Amino acid sequence: MNQTVHIFPFAEFWPLYTFFVIVIALLLWLSLRLNAARVHEVSIREATITALSWFGVALLFNVMLYLFTWWRLEQHPEIVTALGGTADSLARRTALEFLSGYLVEKSLAVDNLFVFLVIFRFFSVAAQYQQRVLFYGLFGALLFRAIFIAMGAVMMEIPLVVIFFGLFLMYQGFQVLKGDDPEMDPEKNRILRFLNRYLPVSSAMAGEKFFIREAGRWMVTPLFVTLVFVEITDIMFAFDSVPAIFGLTKEPMVVFTSNIFAVIDLRALYFLLAAFISRFHYLNYGLSFVLVFIGAKMAIFDELLHIRLPTELSLLIVLGLIVGAIVLSLVKPPKEPQGR
């Protein structure tokens, strides 16, 4: 069975997975240390440079992934025989799957930005402290997504599970089309009530601190509560995004690395798009069609019809839906409220 054959099985390549995580963690730690020296509001220029830098690193990694995959398949022709094709075609397909997964995850992550805006406004987090919350939130996101991907790599070997997740993605996509995409309302959230009831939360911000000591008692600040909400938001969106990438590739290495690279610059993407995100009012519709397409690919084409859509076609469809939604948003801006 082709689906059970992996080019980079975790049991054999766990040191490579570990090395990847260590390198990414060190880069994030270094970035955190550099920014810790100066608490400031991230400018559009700084956010653009950071986002483009991480994008360049992701593309460089994709080239290295292609070369490494090609080299490995040349050394192990039995894998080529099991998967079908040639070493070069399979390596090219792996690189395209990485690019497709990166694009889908990056696009779905934009939804997080809307919720981040709501959370930061609700807790009145100053712009210069928002990047600190997003930094630590990113570490939690990497941890939880690694857990979800490890679980998904096992569960996606079961055809019924693949069909379930495919139908789930289609359902989520149709819900967004209907306008039923729920937003997190911190004011009505049970978790906020739980934290206020069982955790000693200080009544005011304390700069960039998550914990303070008042009257000899340790207390968490509203900034820490904000961090909790950011983590919850990412977990919620991971339930959509992780299965979506498994709908494009069954290779755990591709799922893991494309997912990590897509969320690693979410902090910079937030500051870059925060001023312009309201202009992309059709983007949610584009993303809903992406979810429906990937869900149909998983449940209908892959599992029920046993038809494997070319990776190039999947990439073009996803790219066309996202770019089309953005272009339509710019060409047809939202109507101004009457009376202005």
The residue-averaged pLDDT of 28-45 equals 66
For 305, the 3-state DSSP assignment is coil
What are the pLDDT digits (tens) for 82-126? 888 899 999 999 999 999 889 888 877 766 666 777 777 777 787
pLDDT of residue 299 exceeding 80, the answer is yes
pLDDT of residue 220 exceeding 60, the answer is yes
CA-based max dimension of the chain: 70
Q: 79: how many CB neighbours lie within 10 A of its CB? A: 17
- Supply the pLDDT for residue 274: 62
- Supply the pLDDT for residue 132: 79
For 219, the 3-state DSSP assignment is strand
The rounded distance, in Å, linking the Cα atoms of 23 and 27 is: 6
What are the pLDDT digits (tens) for 301-331? 877 887 877 877 887 888 888 888 888 888 8
The residue-averaged pLDDT of 40-62 equals 81
pLDDT of residue 131 exceeding 90, the answer is no
Is pLDDT larger for residue 320 or for residue 217?
A: 320
The rounded distance, in Å, linking the Cα atoms of 86 and 81 is: 8
**Residues 134 and 230 sit within 8 Å (Cβ to Cβ):** yes
- Supply the pLDDT for residue 1: 40
- Region label for 207, one of left (φ > 0), alpha (ψ between -120 and 50) or beta (otherwise): left
pLDDT of residue 334 exceeding 80, the answer is no
Q: How far apart are the first and last CA of the chain?
A: 63
- Supply the pLDDT for residue 67: 95
pLDDT of residue 206 exceeding 80, the answer is no
How many residues belong to the chain? 340
- Supply the pLDDT for residue 94: 93
pLDDT of residue 179 exceeding 70, the answer is no
pLDDT of residue 180 exceeding 60, the answer is no
Question: Of the ranges 2-6, 238-242, 291-295, which is most confident?
Answer: 291-295
The residue-averaged pLDDT of 198-218 equals 76
**Residues 279 and 42 sit within 8 Å (Cβ to Cβ):** no
Low-confidence winner among 64-73, 270-279, 291-300 (lowest mean pLDDT):
270-279
pLDDT of residue 71 exceeding 90, the answer is yes
Is pLDDT larger for residue 112 or for residue 182?
A: 112
**Residues 163 and 257 sit within 8 Å (Cβ to Cβ):** no
pLDDT of residue 65 exceeding 90, the answer is yes
- Supply the pLDDT for residue 74: 93
Question: Of the ranges 7-16, 39-48, 180-189, which is most confident?
Answer: 7-16
Is pLDDT larger for residue 219 or for residue 91?
A: 91
Instruction: Indicate the average pLDDT of the chain.
Output: 78
